[in-house]
Amino acid sequence: MAALSKKSAFSLAETLVTLVIIGIIAAIVIPSIMTSHRKLVNQVQLRKIYSVLTQISQMVIGEYGDLPYSDFYDGSSDKVQEWFAYYIKPYLKVDKVCYDEEGCWSYPATYMNGTNISNLSARGIGGNIVTFTTIEGILFNLDGNVPTDLYDLYGVESDNDAVVLHVDINGTKPPNIYGKDIFVFVFTNRGFVPAGNDKTRAQVNAECSEDGRGVWCISKIARNNWKLGDENL
Residue-wise pLDDT for 81-115, tens only, equals 888 888 889 888 999 999 988 888 888 899 999 99
In percent, the amount of the chain with pLDDT more than 70 equals 88
Question: Mean pLDDT highest for which of 5-9, 128-132, 195-199?
Answer: 195-199
Specify if 5 maps to a domain: no
Specify if 233 maps to a domain: no
| Number of neighbouring beta carbons within 10 Å of residue 59 | 13
Instruction: Give the number of domains in the chain.
Output: 1
Specify if 151 maps to a domain: yes
Q: What is the pTM of this model?
A: 0.85
Specify if 79 maps to a domain: yes
Specify if 6 maps to a domain: no
Question: Mean pLDDT highest for which of 23-27, 72-76, 191-195?
Answer: 191-195
pLDDT score recorded for residue 69: 57
Asked if residue 7 has pLDDT above 60, the reply is no
Distance between CA atoms of residues 96 and 37, nearest Å: 29
* DSSP symbols for 75-143: SSHHHHHHHHHHHTGGGS-EEEEEESSSSSS--S-B-TTSPBPTTEETTEESSS-EEEEETT--EEEEE
pLDDT score recorded for residue 57: 85
Specify if 4 maps to a domain: no
Range of the domain at 41: 16-226
Asked if residue 9 has pLDDT above 70, the reply is no
Asked if residue 29 has pLDDT above 60, the reply is yes
